[in-house]
Chain A
Amino acid sequence: MMTYIVFILSVIFVISFVGFSSKPSPIYGGLVLIVSGGVGCGIIMNFGGSFLGLMVFLIYLGGMLVVFGYTTAMATEQYPEVWVSNTTVMGVFLLGLLMEVMLVLYVLKSEEVGVVFKFSGVGDWAIYDTGDSEVFSEEIMGVAALYSYGAWVVIVTGWSLLVGVLVILEVTRGD
């Protein structure tokens, strides 16, 4: 099972995305977002990116999702929708699950899968030697490079975040 751990985690990833795309109340959407965040962290860590995985947990789940949970709790309604309360929501969820199951069976059974791009069945998902150099890990060097060669990216993303806050305050301010 450990060879196919990335495949399993990816399937759980997609299932939790289906879970919140079928639009239950945002509280439950946040719940499956936590699951998908954790699973996504697992996928990244299996490729050797331990730092980035922990970053997902810390910043995404521990920062952004917490704030999201608080704001949703402030704006919640008396009877929030669950996946089984509304026929539409349940129908979409089951449809998404069905499509995922069919895709998984397709991947498991056939030699080569060519949906949008070709990859060779489950073999492509297994963890092989990812080819990072022996001395240092590629991923940490990437983060370090972000702050040296990639200073422009830091400036642009920092500015985008600042303007994002300004825009949101402006939009929700009203008159």
Chain B
Amino acid sequence: MASPDGKHRRSGTNGEAKPPDSKKLKLSALITDEEIQSEFSHHDASVARINNGSFGSCPQSVISAQQRWQLRFLRQPDSFYVNDLKPGVLESREAIRSIINADDVSEVSIVDNATTAAAIVLQQMAWAFAEGRFEKGDVAVMLHYAYGAVKKSMEAYVTRAGGRVVEVQLPFPVKSNEEIITEFKLALERGKLKGQRIRLAVIDHVTSMPSVVIPVKELVKICREEGVDQVFVDAAHGIGCVDVDMKEIGADFYASNLHKWFFCPPSAAFLYCRKSAKFSDLHHPVVSHEYGNGLAIESTWIGTRDYSSQLVVPSVVEFVNRFRGGIEGIKKRNHEVVVRMGKMLAESWGTSLGCPPDMCSSMIMVGLPSCLGIMSERDTLKLRTHLRDCFRVEVPIYYRAPKEGEIDPVTGYARISHQVYNKPEDYERFRDAIKKLVGDNFTCASLSA
């Protein structure tokens, strides 16, 4: 029975944000290969998992930290809500702020994923049109290779509200940053053709399919020079994949998933909003009693939810710091290895890479032999399923429509990835699978619908 004068608090619910177990002895030794394999032992061992880009990955120690948070909520949810949630999220936000070189933690909100972040940024556009701050026909610019969900968001919040969307045509395969910069400038010109303002540019940091690192810093500069009101960098593949220095990049908004390349469980992402950004009346689309207290605070409570994936960022920081060079080291090594593996595959198949090494991150596009007969996006899905089911290789495939006049075009590219759990065997298995298909005179046409 509790005594009236005593505090009825248990250890672990005393408002301290970190779950108790995470205060292990400081590990001075670097993580070993064995330990890495152990951390990812929950992965299906029979699968060559070279698609970290789609859904990311999460090590066991972070999963355990997440479960401790979940249990704390279930144990006494009212107390959790009152004492633990906000400080925990603040600690995560502060950890992110530090990594991304943002000035102030109020600039950092945690949301579910980049898709949600896009909805937040674009929703304010819809209001601006509705409330007459933007004129009908004002423009939003995005890349042709923008993620499907972002395109849909543009439709929902910009086109539907009366705005005009201009797409930047990007070449693929691509040979240099200059190609991208040129196309971008052309798109801005198209945007200004009718004398309207360009209200927003949405630029991927790393496009999804096909995957290429976009020179965002240069493009942001161009946007400023050309009088674009706001720039939103969609960096779903951001933290842990490319350099994420907010001040260097200079965008108004920047969103990155944490579950793709930063080892968080599904799902969590951060949305950075520069304090000085124009028109920054951003709101989370799910409105709670925190409405009006700023996006970061609104995002901390969107109704009863499991917020545990947002709370484990400090545990993730501990994890990555077990690697040489921390997250920077991981990023660097991922890049080096994926380039090496990509070259190995291209050489083995007699194909080529989709972009030069310095335009890729921890993913790279590798051309597939044209004899496989990849003639459509449907074919890529069928081939991908075939590789998953029959060869236990998990890798997304991109269909690149041939241009007129191209001879023997490469129409299929595999997007291979490298993350800390990968081994050379993963890529060798893929190499051999394709070689076998080629040897068997396999074509996509032979696959049933």
Same complex for A and B? Answer no
